[in-house]
Structure 1
Amino acid sequence: MASKKQFVVIGLGRFGGSVCKELVRLGNEVLALDTDEQKVNEFAKYATHAVVADSTDERALISLGIRNFDSVIVAIGDNIQASILTTLLLKEIGVKHVCVKARNTYHHKVLVKIGADRVVHPESDMGRRIAQQMSDENVIDFIELSDEYSIVELIASPKIEGKTLIDLNIRARFGITILAIKKGNDIDISPLPNYQISHKDLLIVIGHNDDIKRFEDQVM
């Protein structure tokens, strides 16, 4: 079962808001932060905690205990200067992992130089996909087919080492389908029921989001 993590989302626009909601839906704790009180009030019903604060104020960040969180997502919109300064402060105070939204290539390069651990471009790497990957170390890749159905690439845990697809009875128990299994550079499309799973095999599954999550929680 994927362990609960603690995140901070700074900037509650469309991108930051979608990441915040998805992280909470996945069972994580989220501190939502913005300078706009109206946005903070809007997300108070979604986030574990929602705070009005200036992320370019080092004392404010320290007082919130941000260095103790697993990861911080900087989703500040139009203010590139605030985005860069926030990222710099977060790394200086010892935040373990900082993921930052970039507006352009120049912004991306600066963020990398000042220590951002991950830089994303929302137009090509949408909020839900980032949230899925960051929330759960078992999820290697995620393709959203609709609001309810997805294709997810999951890494096999030691818990199912040596078991066959027959042993797991995945379709009957969870209603999801194994499309393929990747082992290193090899891929087995529509694997046979007697396929024996090895640790770190990549299982490519398709199904309802709730069923996939249930499979992961109970089996992986």
Structure 2
Amino acid sequence: MKMKQFAVIGLGRFGSSLAKELVNQDLEVLGIDRDEEAVQEMVDVLTHTIVADSTEEETLRSIGIRNFDCVIVSIGDDIQASIMTAILLKDLGVKTVVAKALTELHGKVLERLGVDRVIYPERDMGIRVAHQLANPNLLDYIELSKDYTVAEISVPGRLNGVSLKELDPRARYGCSIVAINKKNGVIIAPAATDVINERDVMVIIGTNKQIESFEEDLADF
């Protein structure tokens, strides 16, 4: 199977971090930035790097940008360059375009342009950290949509040895435990007879309200 190829345009803090993690996942990554110093810092990290202005159509054509499976626009604080780049990528027929938005309005413009996925790194991280601070057992929080969330919740000591049948989150709250991360491995689609222990991590899917109710009632179980 051909390895997926990614291009990351904009090698600031977010872009470089994202590009490094893609490389760590054994994926081919081209890093692009018009700042030669930013590119130089990533030369020995990424598969390929290039100094280029992504707002120039001929430059993108010469790179062969349309051949990449996914292109991420992570341009820092230049909204105009971000939008122009997104337009060119869509016009050139890039399969999947992901773009970082600096503001809600910026994100709406990107969506109107047909960008496949718009991400808000600072806003989303703020939401996740707020949830983690407010709920000590909550390890991670990923919003799938406006209404649905996947959450990782650490099992408190009071639930040690409780079976999923006893806990019964589906009947009580409407949310589902789709996996349990234990010291010796992960149980996917656990059965009602499976038992949770202190410090196991439950992966739960449901609406925001369902998961909030579940978190609140953990203390009283």
TM-score by length of 1: 0.60
Q: In structure 1, how many angstroms separate the alpha carbons of the residues matched to 2:14 and 2:100?
A: 8
CA distance in 2, matches of 1:15, 1:177: 30
1:191 shift after superposition:
3.7
After the TM superposition, which segments of 4 or more aligned residues of structure 1 sit over 6 Å from their partners?
A: none
Partner of 2:6: 7
Structure 2: distance between partners of 1:190 and 1:4: 40
Normalised to the residue count of structure 2, the TM-score between the two structures is 0.60
Whether the aligned pair in 1 keeps the contact of 2:151 and 2:203 (CA below 8 Å) is no
**Separation in 1, partners of 2:40, 2:193:** 48
Question: Could you say if the C-alpha distance between residues 177 and 69 of structure 1 is closer, same or farther in structure 2, counting changes exceeding 3 Å?
Answer: same
| Residues 126-150 of structure 1: CA deviation (Å, up to 9, x unaligned) | 6xxxxxxxxxxxxxx797x9xxxxx
2: distance between equivalents of 1:116 and 1:82?
Answer: 15
Specify whether residues 118 and 25 from structure 1 end up closer, same or farther in structure 2 by C-alpha distance, changes over 3 A only: same
Mapping 1:133-212, distance limit 5 Å: 175-178=184-187, 181=189, 188=191, 191=194
- The aligned residue for residue 122 of structure 2 is 123
Identity over the aligned pairs, expressed in percent? 50
1:32 maps to 2:31: yes
User: Does structure 1 residue 61 correspond to structure 2 residue 60?
Assistant: yes
- Which letter maps to 2:185? I
Task: Specify the SS of the correspondent of 2:121.
Answer: coil
The structure with the largest alpha-carbon Rg is 2
Once the two structures are superposed, residues 98-147 of structure 1 have per-residue CA deviations (whole angstroms, 9 ceiling, x without a partner) of 00000111001100111100000002446xxxxxxxxxxxxxx797x9xx
Q: For the residues of structure 2 that align with 1:13 and 1:189, how far apart are their CA atoms? A: 47
Q: Secondary structure at the match of 2:189?
A: strand
Structure 2: gaps spanning 5 or more residues: 126-149, 155-180, 196-201, 205-221
Cα distance change, pair 190–6 in 1 and its aligned pair in 2 (3 A): farther
- Amino acid aligned to 1:37: E
Measured on the aligned residues, the alpha-carbon RMSD in Å equals 3.4
Structure-2 change in CA distance of 1:67 and 1:189 (3 Å): farther
Q: Per-residue deviation at 1:190?
A: 7.1
Code of the residue aligned with 1:33 in structure 2: it is I
1:70 aligns with 2:69: yes
Higher RCO by CA contacts (8 Å cutoff, separation 6 or greater): 1
CA distance in 2, matches of 1:189, 1:3: 40
